[in-house]
Structure 1
């Protein structure tokens, strides 16, 4: 079955059964989200960090301590994503297929908006998506742009990059700008070095994507930013999604579109 035609429940069942793939292009029309689960004492600090950095950390939903489902995600957050990353003392210590045994009773799950949400709209507007064409995970990079910090959390802005033909750059900016709650318009267009990205072929997360002649790199704020803050701040314990391997929500992309 075409993965774009799957419902969220069908996709989650496949991930629960062991399918491990990036989720760009899955469940057309359904919203995807980043997962970060932190110990309860840090939840308000993370909310404040998100409030101060809304382009990178748009909070869509928050669960109760120990909960493994939320209002917008009616599956099991411990098993129904296609990949997880476990952090101890700010260090990524394991990439896991499921985290049932690692999900502590004090963990508070946050679902953060994802730029995959507007990819369908980009395609509908004629903007090609090179990572889908090339069968790769979207590339993501740490920048030299610092996020606005809190007492316990700080770190760099992380961006996702999509090469866009020069004549379609304004279209991509306009279309994605209609989705402000899931990162919105790009935070940077053009020269990667201006934001501290020195080699597009060496992303910090995801896969390198080949630019075609006439392509311009566009950079969107990325929901992996909280994981970068977890690492930079030495948070004692956290669970995130494997970058590019998202939570598929029970809410539609169009619910986040503004006119």
Structure 2
């Protein structure tokens, strides 16, 4: 298991380690951004790359991930069903099966995400790049659509996304827009933000609206205070935004929303992707199937 929390180090050494790792991740990102998916997946699986995945493997769908014990999986499934914009379901595994066959011929959910957050009773206990030591026969994996899929479409149409250009994680914020509760799962909608020229907003909405399994079009454009964001310069997750003069911030429902609901529900164990570090699938960005329905593995009944 590759563990990132080394609390025995002095703070100054921790800071140096974080800076060194960030530089290394960015260098790896630049190299991997022009490599095929198989190479990217192997780098992640081996722990060589632990950074954000936006801009990697263009044309391939990326997914948010949540892994839960079977005893609370149905309530979480219901929560996703009731909140499709922030929680668009792409695939649900059988209990105990870490191989995500419908999403990729060799995807192993235990190793194929750059970083995982591990929660116990709603509390983050560690961040790792391999969850093999935590795997159990009762764990169910959920793959949910991710905005990185529509980002690929925007890039192909010539729109600039500065967080990708700079190897950063998109800024994300809590809002005052509440989701629909299911069992113990509840919480606010979390949004990701990307700025655009007012002249481009209509096209951006039209393009991203074609990807309902990847959060669809923005849920809000303009004044962030209207959705409860008091300071755009202080994201709750991700890196600082870069909004230039004359641009409008556009906010999309975000896959961190179910992570907040998971923390509120406080299951005995929950494993998620770390923000910005997604599961990269073999599926094309055109969607799970022709009509955007969730993937189903008929041989496993999931």
The TM-score range, normalised by the shorter chain, is: over 0.9
Scaled by the length of structure 1, what TM-score is found? Answer: 0.95
State the SS of the aligned residue for 1:35: strand
From 91, 96, 110, the equivalent of 1:61 is 91
State the SS of the aligned residue for 1:166: coil
Aligned to 2:19: none
Q: 1:223: Cα distance to partner?
A: 1.3
Aligned to 2:58: 28
Equivalent residues in 2 for 1:40-79 (5 A)? 40-70=70-100, 71-73=102-104, 74-79=106-111
Q: 1:235: Cα distance to partner?
A: 2.1
Q: 1:166: Cα distance to partner?
A: 1.6
Does structure 2 conserve the Cα–Cα contact (< 8 Å) formed by 1:118 and 1:176? yes
Does structure 2 conserve the Cα–Cα contact (< 8 Å) formed by 1:179 and 1:258? no
Q: 1:179: Cα distance to partner?
A: 0.8
Equivalent residues in 2 for 1:95-134 (5 A)? 95-134=127-166
Aligned to 2:185: 153
State the SS of the aligned residue for 2:97: coil
From 240, 247, 253, the equivalent of 1:215 is 247
Alignment coverage as a number of residue pairs: 259
Q: 1:144: Cα distance to partner?
A: 1.3
Q: 1:133: Cα distance to partner?
A: 2.5
Give the Cα separation in 1 of the matches to 2:180 and 2:189. Answer: 9
Give the Cα separation in 2 of the matches to 1:235 and 1:219. Answer: 29
Q: 1:134: Cα distance to partner?
A: 2.8
From 214, 231, 239, the equivalent of 2:263 is 231
Structure 1 alignment gaps of length 5 or more? none
State the SS of the aligned residue for 1:123: helix
Give the Cα separation in 1 of the matches to 2:185 and 2:257. Answer: 11
Give the Cα separation in 2 of the matches to 1:197 and 1:145. Answer: 11
Give the Cα separation in 1 of the matches to 2:42 and 2:216. Answer: 30
Give the Cα separation in 1 of the matches to 2:209 and 2:130. Answer: 34
Does structure 1 conserve the Cα–Cα contact (< 8 Å) formed by 2:52 and 2:167? no
Q: 1:130: Cα distance to partner?
A: 1.8
Supply the RMSD in Å over aligned alpha carbons: 1.7
Aligned to 2:42: 13
Larger CA Rg, structure 1 vs 2: 2
User: Could you give the per-residue CA deviations for residues 71-115 of structure 1, whole angstroms, max 9, x where no partner exists?
Assistant: 214321111111000011111111112111112221100000000
Structure 2 alignment gaps of length 5 or more? 1-29, 293-302
Scaled by the length of structure 2, what TM-score is found? Answer: 0.82
More strand by share: 1
Does structure 1 conserve the Cα–Cα contact (< 8 Å) formed by 2:211 and 2:287? no
